[in-house]
Amino acid sequence: MPDAVVVRVDPEPIHTASAPDTWWRHAVIYQIYPRSWADSDGDGIGDLPGITERLEYLARLGVDAVWLSPFYVSPQNDGGYDVADYRDVDPVFGRLEDADKLIATAHDYGLRIIIDLVPNHSSSEHPWFQAAVRAAPGGRERARYIFRDGKGASGELPPNNWLSNFGGPGWTRVTEADGRLGQWYLHIFDVTQPDFDWNNDEVQAEMEAVMRFWLDRGIDGFRIDVAHGLVKRAGLPDGVTRQQPTGEPTSSQPMWDQPGVHDIYRSWRRLLNSYNASGPDAEIADEDRILCAEAWVHPPEALARYVRPDELHQSFNFDFLLAPWLAPELREVIEHTLRVADHVGAPQTWVLSNHDVVRYATRLGYPARAGLLRLSGIGADDPQPDAALGLRRARAAAAVMLALPGSCYLYQGEELGLPDATQLPDEVRQDPTWRRSGYTQRGRDGCRVPLPWLADSPSYGFGPSARSWLPQPPSFRELAVDQQDGVHGSTLELYRAYLSARREHGLGHGGLYRVDGYPDDVLALVNAPADNDRLILILANLGPDPVPLPKDAQIIVASNPLTDDGRVPTDVAVWAALAPAI
Ligand code: GLC
């Protein structure tokens, strides 16, 4: 590679710039897993008052909104994704008044609040399910869930071959009032998470009432849990068994991505529009309340159906999360998913980590493809990641994501460069995946460990006591907020710089262009705001050799230091302003 590079910006945009006036089209949204963010009362479990006390931290970080994983009343068999009462707060997290205070305080800071809606299933402790088990087969109570007679001479076999996502069968048999084994109920997740029957009018009406309950309390939107799972194929046919990326078999198809889900989302969009003062067709939609799908749907064309203009606002781009750290594949995913979303007029919604996957600072600490195989949790006896490599790449990956047009979701602690806890003792694991998989899949506890705030306090400042519902690894000490705050070069300061530059340069609503002139293992793109007076080069070097920047490029931010002669080393990403004439 020569000392300076002459780049050519492709005049044909991958994506065209848009107006900045619709907040959710370019927002940065921070996910809080309430159990693990901040504990106000010292019981070792995070809570709503803990969040409210520290919202200033998020305002200073520079995010636009917060998504809270569930805090509803729940036996917590799946970290709160097993809801027993959708209209109240679990005592472990506080009270309803605490939710109100959190919402109001967030709004005072200019932060929007998105909460999790769990419509696919309830907890088995939900009064509806309790009533369903007590009721006779065929009645109204059972019709809200998916109860079926078993196969075999005496109904001893499950109604079909569907598996639970957490391992084991997807059906469990109940004992009827007369003491005999009776019908089976479907649970795509844990045995304590019975699936609702979305053909049932009462289910539909109840969930819309729940949405109104929270919208009336002032929340700004919902993240929809398992959005691709609500409707099952009529007749509940057997599924085809497939391998997951983790190597686990999963029966697929008939419970995922059925056309009927789109009718539900059209109805929900009408509901949301009734709250949006500006209405569906207004030019200024800055007050919009939104819906974001968690839909593990592939290909992107199928995912785009969830964000058609009369359906949901956003849908996580999991193809991006799943892409290996290889420039050609990242380039392909970015370009293709943007084009597909553009086709339906939706923004792209980028994400790299969440509470269900191994944090990317850890995944990227493995060879490019091996990281993906570790998506479902790492134990002490597994190969361990190269932490320094993972952090270096994670800082670069964040630069790529945060420079892209569309909305971005951050997962709590990624701004600190937190890795997964990869050496948790198996006895402390709480994710039902570990048990239900017959102790073969470690599950998701490693990414859910409570955050470190203060290096020299008990529980690293997570709460006022030494308690922490999962043990924090010693590596969290030097990553604590107080070790990074104000420290030049820290990951926290780097994220603050990314977010402020993203806002200043309007990257979230810029146009995106391909750049020629670099080798294939260098990801090079240009983001240009609508007026095109500044071109921002995004360059991530995933190749083996340092690469030069174009002449006169002015660096805005770099994920790690450049070489002494100003080249971009391996696994470093840079944003740099280019002269418009290039
Ligand atoms: C979603 C959640 C996950 C939960 C599952 C069942 O995938 O993100 O945490 O276990 O749904 O509700």
Secondary structure string (H, E, C) spanning 455-477: CCCHHHHCCCCCCCCCCCCHHHH
- Domain coverage including residue 238: 23-120+200-491
Residue 120 alpha carbon to ligand 1 centre in Å: 10
Predicted confidence at residue 241, as pLDDT, reads 67
Lookup: tokens for 192: 């304590």
User: 316 in ligand 1 pocket by Cβ < 6 Å?
Assistant: no
Considering only CA atoms, which residue is closest to atom 4 of ligand 1? 81
One domain for residues 180 and 256 = no
Same domain, 484 and 553: no
- In sequence order, what are the residues at sequence separation of 6 or more whose Cβ sits closer than 8 angstroms to the Cβ of residue 454? 460, 461, 480, 481, 482
Cα–Cα distance for residue pair 359/350, rounded to 1 Å: 15
Q: In angstroms, what is the span from residue 350 Cα to ligand 1's centroid?
A: 18
Together in a domain, 385 and 486 = yes
Residue 498 lies in a domain: no
In this structure, are strands 8-9 and 511-516 parallel, antiparallel, or unpaired? antiparallel
Q: Which residues contact 352 (CB under 8 A, 6 or more apart)?
A: 320, 321, 360, 394, 397, 398, 401, 411, 414
In which residue are the tokens 């690293």 written? 460
Say if 412 falls within a structural domain: yes
* Nearest alpha carbon, ligand 1 atom 2: 225
The answer on 47 and 8 residing in a single domain is no
Residue 299: what residue type? P
Q: How far apart are CA 518 and CA 133, in angstroms?
A: 63
Q: What is the CATH number of the domain that holds 459?
A: 3.20.20.80
What CATH number corresponds to the domain at position 179?
Answer: 3.90.400.10
CA-closest residue to ligand 1 atom 3? 356
Domain membership of residue 262 (yes or no) is yes
Longest distance between any two alpha carbons in the chain, whole Å: 83
Pocket test for ligand 1, best of 356, 375, 434, 447 (most atoms within 8 A of CB): 356
The sign one gets for the Cα dihedral 483, 488, 489, 491 is positive
Domain stops at, among 186, 213, 237: 186
82 lines ligand 1 (CB under 6 A): no
Does ligand 1 come within 6 angstroms of the Cβ of 292?
Answer: no
Q: Ligand 1 pocket, 189 CB below 6 A?
A: yes
Q: Is 268 in the pocket of ligand 1 (CB under 6 A)?
A: no
* Catalytic annotation, pick one of 47, 195, 197, 225: 225
Q: Are 369 and 428 found together in one domain?
A: yes
For residue 215, give both structure tokens. 């919208």
State residue 244's pLDDT score. 58
Whether 507 and 513 have beta carbons less than 8 Å apart is answered as no
Dist. CA 224 → ligand 1 center (Å): 10
In a domain, 368, yes or no: yes
517, containing H or E segment: none
Residue 439 lies in a domain: yes
The Cα–Cα gap between 312 and 291 comes to: 5
Tally the domains of the chain.
Answer: 3
| Closest atom, ligand 1, to C-alpha of 355 | 9
Domain boundary among 433, 458, 491: 491
Residue 359 identity = R
- Residue from 39, 116, 294, 319 carrying the catalytic annotation: 294
Report how far ligand 1's centroid is from the alpha carbon of 437 (Å): 16
Q: Burial of 489 by CB count in 10 Å (0-12 exposed, 13-18 middle, 19+ buried)?
A: exposed
* Cα 157 to ligand 1 centre (Å): 27
Helices (H) and strands (E) in the chain, counts: 16, 21
Is residue 251 located within the same domain as residue 350?
yes
Verify whether ligand 1 is closer than 6 Å to residue 356 (CB atom): yes
- Residue whose CB lies within 8 A of the most ligand 1 atoms, among 68, 193, 225, for a mutation test: 225
CA 484 to chain centre: 24
92 Cα: distance to centroid of ligand 1 (angstroms): 19
195 lines ligand 1 (CB under 6 A): no
Spacing of C-alpha 192 from chain mean position: 23
Does residue 497 lie within any of the structural domains? no
Residues 452/462, Cβ–Cβ less than 8 Å: yes
Alpha carbon separation from 278 to 22, 219, 275, 287, 361 (Å, rounded): 11, 17, 9, 7, 40
pLDDT, one tens digit for every residue, the chain (582 residues): 556 788 899 999 999 998 877 999 999 999 999 999 999 999 999 999 999 999 999 999 999 999 999 999 999 999 999 999 999 999 999 999 999 999 999 999 999 999 999 999 999 999 999 999 999 999 999 999 999 999 999 999 999 999 999 989 999 999 999 999 999 999 999 999 999 999 999 999 999 999 999 999 999 999 999 999 999 999 999 998 665 555 555 545 899 999 999 999 999 999 999 998 655 555 445 679 999 999 999 999 999 999 999 999 999 999 999 999 999 999 999 999 999 999 999 999 999 999 999 999 999 999 988 777 777 899 999 999 999 999 999 999 999 999 999 999 999 999 999 999 999 999 999 999 999 999 999 999 999 999 999 999 999 999 999 999 999 999 999 999 999 999 999 999 999 999 999 999 999 999 999 999 999 999 999 999 876 678 999 999 999 999 999 998 999 999 999 999 999 999 999 999 997 654
**CB of 166 sitting under 6 A from ligand 1:** no
Place of tokens 């939900």: 126
Indicate if 227 and 88 belong to the same structural domain. Answer: yes
Any idea what the CATH number is for the domain that residue 573 is in? 2.60.40
Closest ligand 1 atom to 354 CA = 8
Residue 115 phi, psi dihedral angles, 5° rounding: -115, 165
294 catalytically annotated: yes
Same domain for 482 and 453? yes
pLDDT at residue 370 in the model: 76
How far is it, in rounded angstroms, from Cα 307 to Cα 346? 6
| Nearest CA-CA partner of 569 in 385, 394, 396, 367 | 396
- Dist CA 155 CA 137 (whole Å): 13
Domain end marker among 158, 186, 214: 186
12 is catalytic: no
Shared domain for 460 and 577, answered yes or no, is no
Q: Which residue is it, tokens 């889900």?
A: 261
**CB neighbours of 26 closer than 8 A, spacing ≥ 6?**
18, 20, 347, 405, 406, 407, 508, 509
Residue to probe by mutation, ligand 1, list 76, 77, 187, 189, most atoms within 8 Å of CB: 189
Indicate if 9 and 53 belong to the same structural domain: no
342 and 427 belong to one structural domain: yes
Q: How far apart are CA 156 and CA 281, in angstroms?
A: 54
Residues 86 and 155 reside in one and the same domain: no
Q: Is residue 91 part of a domain?
A: yes
Residue 216 CB burial class (10 angstroms; 0-12, 13-18, ≥19):
exposed
Please give the C-alpha separations between residue 359 and each of 208, 236, 390, in angstroms, as whole numbers.
Answer: 33, 35, 10
In a domain, 191, yes or no: no
**Which tokens is 19 given?**
């107006």
